[in-house]
A and B are shown apart, each in its own frame.
Chain A
Amino acid sequence: CAKQVPDPEAPPGSLKVDCGDHLVVLPRSFSPVISPFDEQAVEAALRIKDAQGGSITVITLGNNLQRDVVKKPLSMGADELILLEDSAFEGGDTWSTVTALAAAIKKVGDYDLIFCGRQAADWDAGQVGLGLAEILGLPVVSVAQKVEVMDGRVRVERVVPDGYEVIESPTPALITVSNELGEPRYATLKGIMAAAKKQPTVWKPADLGLDPSQVGEAGRNTKLLRLFQPTKEARCEIVEGETPEEAGTLLADRLRSAKVL
């Protein structure tokens, strides 16, 4: 599962809250991207495909999805793209997103592994992968840095605060992927050309056997009461010197006089 999000690497300060819409917006000059952990989720799947073969289906939920953005996983080497795209999917939370994604995964039917990012880079919730596993009744390992498949089982290195755990699970299973997995591969020119030719499948709520009231804004189980940007008083005291070395020395003196040291 891969989500289209506003570029999370846009400089802090360029994001503005649109209070009327309860939305955070970026200036148009920043193109949306596939959420970075989701690219890593695609990469994890591609590594298994490289080693063992198989095929990869990517599911993206949203509305007005930008085709060149959502096709990125295809250009990296995924086989199929399913878009859950409809105005009814707008304004959802993790609950309504899981409802729709779970229905789509059931409709796809046949799978060994489902990959998600550890958290989407817009709302940073970190819930959908775990929620999907719960609703689909699958075992789940979160925050993976390495995923290998052997004899119908999956072996996952799960990142923990002081290192990692090795966890094994029967398949089918759901894995959420973290950046420790490593850089996702670049799309090759050949991949981009192949992706350009592929038409994504588009499903609406009715195609999933869902009522519009179950998805998007209508299907939420949480309410967004307030969205705001805390104001910061920027008051940095810049310590200067004749040379950078002197500035370094004076910085230490300043910290001492301010009793920080």
Chain B
Amino acid sequence: MASSLSVLVTAEVSGGKVAPVTLELLGAARELADKLGGGVACALLGSGIGDAAQQLIHHGADQVVVADDAGLKDYLSDTYTAVMEAVVRQTDPEIVLLGHTSQGRDLGPRLAFRLGAGLATDCVELDIDGDSKQLLATRPVYGGNARATFTTDTRPQMATVRSKAMTPLPADPSRQGETLTLSPMPDISARLTLSDRVKEEVKGVKLEDAPVVVSGGRGIGGPEGFQQLEELVRTLKGAVGATRAACDNGWWPSSAQVGLTGKIVAPDLYIAVALSGSSQHMAGCSGSKALVAINKDPEANIFKEAQYGVVGDYRQVLPAFARRVQELLEK
């Protein structure tokens, strides 16, 4: 195993399962660490999560530092920041990576300011500069209208990484690594208390995993229109997404907002209905394999993003489209 640890990945586990973004981070970390000639460490925080360590090793970690404590069952800003600070001090990495997830968005900046470390959030590309050996962290800015590459002279250098931007390594059960327990465990008393959790029901396929996503925008005009989209995804075995404009109007739950500040999806097929294709929305779906647009405005930006499109009122175009799709799939 490599003598020093170059990259530390912060793992996320939910319901005993390692989050896809963690495996993506490990894939990216492996590449960066190989360029630096060091190892990959992974921080595993939670309660009753020890089993995940092997999986992290199979996907590229050389060392897993486990902090398993009843007090870490739920993510809380105070407790996780304290534990991650201790893990960083124990592993002393050049680079710390987190997912740009609900947890990473909160934990990343706090940890960075605690450590005095430079952080680039929501990165879509990571590389090592050949000369300086510094991390080159590239991220979309201005809602996705431009991209910027950042470096920092601090140690560690930090980045949070957008989901689905990196490629995980296939699991290799023969990979070896060591599992350590974080010790000493820092004080994890929290000022915050989590007093309730309210779940929004999701029917059918989960948006982030759906092979087909049909999203509606402001032009849908009301909740009734979204029922049409629901019928279409039932045929396509997909999920319905929405723009922020549609969610803010209460036509569709905010938990299905696609975009920069919503969910990131990368389905085989993304059908954009009556939405203009703002850069902030495209940030959440530009990884789709095929993009189809239905919009009545031929000048709408979505036609600059889509591969196939129809210019027309969705109220007329969509029912005929849905009918034909059903016929084709039944054949």
Contacts and interface: CB of A to CB of B under 8 A. Distances in A.
Interface of A: 6, 8-9, 11-13, 15, 17, 24, 94-95, 98, 118-119, 121-127, 129-131, 133-135, 139-143, 155, 159-170, 178-180, 183, 221-230, 232, 234-241, 243-249, 251-256, 258, 260-261
B313 interface: yes
Given A221-B116, A248-B319, A167 B192 contact: yes
Interface residues of B, number: 92
Contacts of B147: 227-230
B195 interface: yes
A17 B196 contact: no
B292 A249 contact: no
A113 B328 CA distance: 58
Nearest to A160: B102
B146 A258 contact: no
Contacts of B192: 139, 141, 167-169
12 contacts: A12-B277, A17-B146, A121-B143, A126-B122, A139-B191, A179-B244, A222-B152, A238-B310, A245-B319, A255-B292, A258-B308, A261-B269
Interface string B222-248: 000000000000000000000010001
A233 B117 CA distance: 37
A236 B316 contact: no
Nearest to A178: B261
A244 B316 contact: yes
Contacts of B198: 163-166
Contacts of A122: 141-142
A251 B308 contact: yes
A77 B41 CA distance: 50
A26 B308 CA distance: 30
A107 B265 CA distance: 44
Contacts of B290: 255, 258, 260
Contact of A248 (B121, B141, B317): B317
Contacts of B141: 24, 122-124, 227
B112 interface: yes
A130 B112 CA distance: 10
A200 to B, nearest CB: 27
B197 A248 contact: no
Nearest to A17: B146
B10 interface: no
B91 interface: no
A180 B247 CA distance: 9
Contacts, number: 263
B323 A249 contact: yes
Contacts of B244: 179
B77 A143 contact: no
A239 B304 contact: no
B145 interface: yes
A121 B122 CA distance: 14
Contacts of B318: 248
Interface in B273-320: 277-280, 282, 290, 292-294, 298, 301, 303-313, 316-320
B183 interface: no
A247 B110 contact: no
A167 B319 CA distance: 44
Contacts of A235: 307
B232 to A, nearest CB: 11
Contact of B316 (A95, A183, A222, A245): A245
Interface in B179-236: 191-200, 202
Given A24-B142, A168-B193, A246 B109 contact: no
A240 B255 CA distance: 34
Given A221-B152, A222-B118, A244-B316, A251 B146 contact: no
B113 A168 contact: no
Contact of B200 (A94, A143, A163, A240): A163
Contacts of A13: 301, 304
Contact of B194 (A133, A161, A167, A221): A167
A143 to B, nearest CB: 7
B142 A134 contact: no
Nearest to A235: B307
A165 B197 contact: yes
B152 A166 contact: no
A133 B110 contact: yes
B104 to A, nearest CB: 10
A94 B148 CA distance: 15
Contact of A163 (B154, B197, B301): B197
B146 A24 contact: yes
